[in-house]
Amino acid sequence: MDAKKKAITVVFCNAVVLLLATVAAQACLPSDRAALLEFRSHLNEPYIGVFNSWKGQDCCHGWYGRAKRKGVMTGSISPAICKLTQLSGVTLSDWEGISGAIPACITNLPAMRHVDLVGNKISGVIPANIGNLAKLTVLNLADNQISGAIPASIARLTSLTHLDLRNNGLTGVIPVYIGRLKMLSRVLLSGNKLSGQIPESLTRIYRLADLELSMNRITGPIPPSFGRMSVLATLNLDGNLISGEIPGSLMTSSISNLNLSGNFISGKIPNAFGPRSYFTVLDLSNNRLEGVIPESITTASFIGHLDVSHNQLCGKIPAGSPFDHLDATSFGYNRCLCGTPLGDCGK
């Protein structure tokens, strides 16, 4: 058996359905066809007919569908999918109704590069041996009902570039060795019940551009080394139990979208802004910050959206270009802030 190209390309748009990405060989193996039909028999899509092209013998060609309209698909992911030994990708996204667990046997599919099951009702746990998928580049399980911990074996997915597990019921800690995944550019874990501290190892992923850990139960401090990462643009840590002070390094870093709102962050806003500070969003609201808004903030090259409301800040709001466009809501509910756009400082 030589490795000829067999294409099982099942691309479905909008709502996609399933993208069994390119495999190898010339014709459809009867065993693959049987596995696909079994897989299909566990799914139910009554309105659009996305599976209409799944007929004939050649399951390598034309077994795909496009859904221009939004549809709903129910059913579950059959373990029959694991019989497709060349399978390199599966996409069943935004069908809203696919339930059941992810078959653990998918971790036996060595060619798998892409798993995208976003926007369904998938429950159960992430298979413990997910780390076996050495070629996996994208793991998107966001917007489902997955519970349990993020398996420690995830630290073996060294090809992973995109990890999106947002809005599930994941518990436990962020695996400490996640920093071994040097290809990662997006780590999106918001909207779970993750606890423990932010692993410092994350700050050693030099490609990381987007880290979103919002709305979890994360405790401990913000590692100052985030401020030294070269391409980190978005750091969203809002809605956690984070304490300690804001590292000054974050003020002049590559980060342009910083949300620390809704934590237990204390101390002062670092007087560490400079011309390299460029923020489209700087949200420090709902914390325990005290002291003044530092004068150096006026030297920032841009601050699009600033929110320091609901803290314990005091003193005169600095005047300068980054502040001209801001209104009072950015500064409300503090101990004794004053000056434009709030009231006069008096005296």
Ligand X SMILES: *[C@@H]1O[C@H](CO)[C@@H](O)[C@H](O)[C@H]1NC(C)=O
Choose which of 238, 313, 331, 337 interacts with ligand X (CB under 6 A): 238
Closest to ligand X by CB, 130 or 282: 282
Least separation, in Å, of the C-beta of 126 and ligand X? 24
Give me the residue whose beta carbon is nearest to ligand X: 238
**Residue 283 engages ligand X in binding (rule: CB under 6 A):** yes
Closest to ligand X by CB, 32 or 238: 238
Choose which of 91, 93, 168, 214 interacts with ligand X (CB under 6 A): 214
Closest to ligand X by CB, 131 or 262: 262
Choose which of 305, 314, 332, 333 interacts with ligand X (CB under 6 A): 305
Closest to ligand X by CB, 5 or 288: 288
Closest to ligand X by CB, 86 or 285: 285
Choose which of 131, 223, 262, 294 interacts with ligand X (CB under 6 A): 262
Closest to ligand X by CB, 94 or 238: 238
Size of the site for ligand X (CB under 6 A): 9
Q: Regarding beta strands 186-188 and 210-212, do their DSSP bridges make them parallel or antiparallel, or are they unpaired?
A: parallel
**Residue 259 engages ligand X in binding (rule: CB under 6 A):** yes
Only one of the segments 81-89, 116-124, 166-174, 259-267 lies at the binding site for ligand X (rule: CB under 6 A); that segment is 259-267
**Residue 239 engages ligand X in binding (rule: CB under 6 A):** yes
- Cα 29 to Cα 60, 75, 231, distances in angstroms: 9, 25, 45
Least separation, in Å, of the C-beta of 100 and ligand X? 31
- Which residues of this protein are in contact with ligand X, per CB under 6 A? 214, 238-239, 259, 261-262, 281, 283, 305
